Amino acid sequence: MSQKLFAYKRLAISLALLLCLTSLSALAQDDKKAASPAASNDEKAEQIVRQAVEAMGGSAYLGVRSVVGRGLFTQYKDGQSGIPSSFLDYIVFPDRERTEFKGQTGKIIQTNDRETGWIYDGASKSLKDMTKDQVADFKRAMRASVDNLLRGYWRKEGATLAYVGRREAGLAKRNEAVRLTYPDGFWVEFEFGAKDFLPMKILYKKTDADGAESDEEDRLAQHVAVQGVISPFVIDHYTAGTQTSRINYQSIEFNSPLTDALFARPANAKAVK
């Protein structure tokens, strides 16, 4: 079940809130188009980020400290959708999240609190600490979130921001692309509508335990205004060009009071609420 949970985290969190597949040749063409002095690229990228913040709600967006989201999570296999599971997601920026799933196998809770995390499996009545790899997956999801980019959390990690170029995004549509590159080499690209500057795609590469690399993509759609803040209500995730999951929000609430107890690890499985 943990694979299902982390498939959601690649999104939700923030989100996650994540990413567009582009062929190597297309990327190479974009790199050529973007070939200009680094300072100019950085300035252009910063401008796009500022415009995206305004498009998302400006001060109302930046004033969000917590998010409560409800909806349906669906896994896909070989391009075919499975049975949706309902979820309830709590986020406190920048690095706390609790997601509760209810499906055919019962209730599952995954909670990340900064450098630690725990998972409760209702079917087996088990409560376990997250492994280092699972915590690392959460951190990668945070790095690859729109909130991380627009709220500037990446600056504390010493990442650099650069303008990639303008890309095709359908009939008579273009996206502006920017790239975050972290000191450890991890990078993530974000695409925003060239006219409305709403987040549309996020791209990055993932390496599994065997060293195999895959292209990861999130496509963001159905942007809805809630409490003066714009949020994508549908997030489709793709791996190597094949859809693997969909997050469909049914409601989102901002700045609801969330207590520390919500994220604290229970003493045992019986104490889980």
Helix axes 2-9, 132-143, angle to 10 degrees: 20
CATH topology of domain 2-271: outer membrane lipoprotein receptor (LolB), chain A (2.50.20)
Q: Tell me the per-residue pLDDT of 137-180, one tens digit each, with 9 for 90 and over.
A: 999 999 999 999 999 999 999 999 999 999 999 888 999 999 99
Give the start-to-end residue ranges of the domains of the chain. Answer: 2-271
Q: pTM of the predicted model, to two decimals?
A: 0.83
- Quick one: pLDDT at residue 135? 93
- The overall average pLDDT reported for the chain is 86
- Quick one: pLDDT at residue 273? 83
Of 107 and 40, the one with more pLDDT = 107
- Quick one: pLDDT at residue 15? 36
Task: Provide Rg for the chain, Cα atoms.
Answer: 18
- Quick one: pLDDT at residue 106? 82
Is pLDDT of 34 > 90?
A: no
- Quick one: pLDDT at residue 79? 83
Q: Tell me the per-residue pLDDT of 36-77, one tens digit each, with 9 for 90 and over.
A: 334 344 999 999 999 999 999 999 999 999 999 999 999 999
